């Protein structure tokens, strides 16, 4: 993909976020989609490309009453929407469509019309992981994280500090679910979920959704809001348990997707003004900082503990409050993308002054997939 040739021209989340017991999952999709279409100043009939995950493209297209000529149903977990951005940008450049809607929603808390997620007993995961009790993030992450801590000298206090700093960002965001300040002691004294994770180190469970509209950069000038250009993209997938248990480190998918995006964007780490790293659990920002190449893994815990990612720090990270404090309906990648777009538009509640480049990095499918999108507000 060429740099700066495709732009985000519309972006919005659902009208409500949090606990929404009176709206089904597909209605949340429609709410997010219509909000993004209105943000772009378009009509439903203008959409000729559609991407979504979990819900199928045909379900969303039928519900919205549109007939797209290009669809993408890639579903690889929480970073699916990063991959959708990459695929949509390529499709627009190839002339397969002109205006792409990427939509996501989940009734993660209320479970109203939620599509079940199942692991087939004949799948690789079903045969070689489920029989040993490896079925959820809480059962999959602890052992590799403990090994990561031992290998790189990361302390419990440093991981707790991730949650503390992101709560500081959330306090500046009116739509954040959790805003009350917390301390390292609060985190380490909160209820144990699965050692070493306590509840304040685990993502929220909420309802909500979001949507993006993509179009060519040449057309972007005709839209009402400031375009946000796609500077670089990357993606990768692999087997989750191989990623974690074999390497006892971070994710090899992380280490493929991130460098791909940086090479395509033609930027260095020093050029990055704003960073979003998927944070289903508090350790993921540490993995991301190391795997993206910002610093060695041994330095990540201290980097955050020293305040470098908090408001006023030199590398603002997860400025909406992240999955730990903003919201997390089950697949968080769309909300990270939304915050990157807001920062590049200059409309974020906790706006980073003079931010020109935002890196949005996601993980999905229990570390089985990764996607990275680099945005800029300059062409």
Catalytic residue, from 148, 229, 278, 332: name it: 278
Specify which residues 198 forms β-bridges with.
Answer: 192
Q: How far apart are CA 183 and CA 312, in angstroms?
A: 18
**What φ, ψ does residue 311 adopt, rounded to 5°?**
-55, 130
Give start and end residues of each alpha helix (H) in 129-181: 137-140, 142-152, 156-170
Nearest alpha-carbon partner for 378 in 358, 348, 350, 352: 358
357 and 369 in contact (C-beta within 8 Å)? no
What 8-state DSSP symbol labels residue 39? H
Alpha carbon 60 to its chain centroid, in Å, reads: 21
Catalytic residue, from 229, 326, 332, 335: name it: 326
Within the chain, how many helices (H) and strands (E) appear?
15, 11
Nearest alpha-carbon partner for 145 in 184, 199, 197, 191: 197
Q: State yes or no: cis peptide before 19, omega within 30 of 0.
A: no
* 148 part of the active site: no
Tokens of 24: 């089904």
Going across the sheet that includes 357-364, the strands are 70-72, 49-52, 100-107, 207-216, 6-13, 228-237, 369-376, 357-364, 274-277
Length of the chain: 379
Q: How far apart are CA 165 and CA 321, in angstroms?
A: 8
Q: How far apart are CA 315 and CA 82, in angstroms?
A: 21
Q: How far apart are CA 309 and CA 311, in angstroms?
A: 7
Q: How far apart are CA 36 and CA 25, in angstroms?
A: 17
Q: Nearest-5° angle of CA 60, CA 65, CA 70?
A: 60
* 132 part of the active site: no
Q: What residues act catalytically?
A: 278, 326
């Amino acid at each position: 993909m060429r740099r700066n040739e495709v732009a985000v021209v519309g972006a919005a989340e659902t009208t409500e976020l949090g606990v929404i017991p009176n709206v089904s999952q597909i209605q949340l999709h429609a709410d997010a989609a219509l909000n993004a279409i209105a943000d772009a100043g378009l009509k439903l009939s203008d959409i000729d490309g559609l991407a979504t995950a979990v819900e199928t493209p045909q379900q969303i297209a039928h519900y919205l009453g549109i007939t797209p000529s290009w669809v993408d149903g890639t579903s690889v977990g929480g970073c699916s929407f990063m991959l959708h951005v990459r695929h949509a940008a390529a499709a627009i450049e190839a002339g397969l469509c002109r205006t792409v809607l990427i939509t996501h929603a989940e009734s993660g808390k209320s479970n109203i019309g939620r599509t079940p997620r199942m692991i087939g007993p004949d799948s690789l995961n079903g045969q070689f992981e489920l029989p040993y009790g490896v079925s959820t993030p809480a059962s999959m992450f602890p052992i590799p994280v403990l090994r990561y801590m031992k290998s790189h000298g990361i302390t419990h206090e440093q991981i707790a500090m991730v949650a503390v700093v992101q709560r500081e960002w959330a306090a500046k965001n009116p739509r954040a679910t959790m805003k009350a300040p917390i301390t390292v002691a609060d985190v380490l004294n909160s209820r144990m979920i699965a050692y070493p994770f306590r509840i304040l180190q685990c993502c929220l469970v909420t309802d909500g959704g979001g949507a993006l509209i993509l179009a060519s950069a040449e057309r972007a000038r005709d839209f009402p809001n400031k375009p946000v250009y796609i500077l670089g993209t990357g993606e990768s997938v692999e087997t989750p348990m191989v990623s974690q248990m074999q390497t006892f480190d971070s994710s090899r998918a992380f280490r493929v997707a991130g460098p791909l995006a940086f090479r395509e964007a033609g930027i260095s780490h020093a050029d990055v003004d704003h960073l979003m790293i998927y944070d289903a659990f508090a350790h993921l920002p540490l993995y991301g900082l190391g795997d993206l190449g910002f610093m060695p893994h041994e330095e990540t815990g201290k980097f955050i503990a020293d305040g470098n990612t908090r408001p006023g720090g030199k590398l603002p990270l997860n400025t909406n409050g992240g999955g730990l404090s903003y919201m997390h309906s089950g697949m968080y990648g769309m909300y990270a993308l939304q915050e990157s777009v807001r920062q590049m538009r200059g409309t974020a509640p906790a706006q980073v002054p003079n931010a020109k480049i935002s890196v949005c990095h996601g993980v999905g499918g229990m570390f089985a997939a990764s996607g990275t999108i680099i945005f800029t507000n300059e062409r």
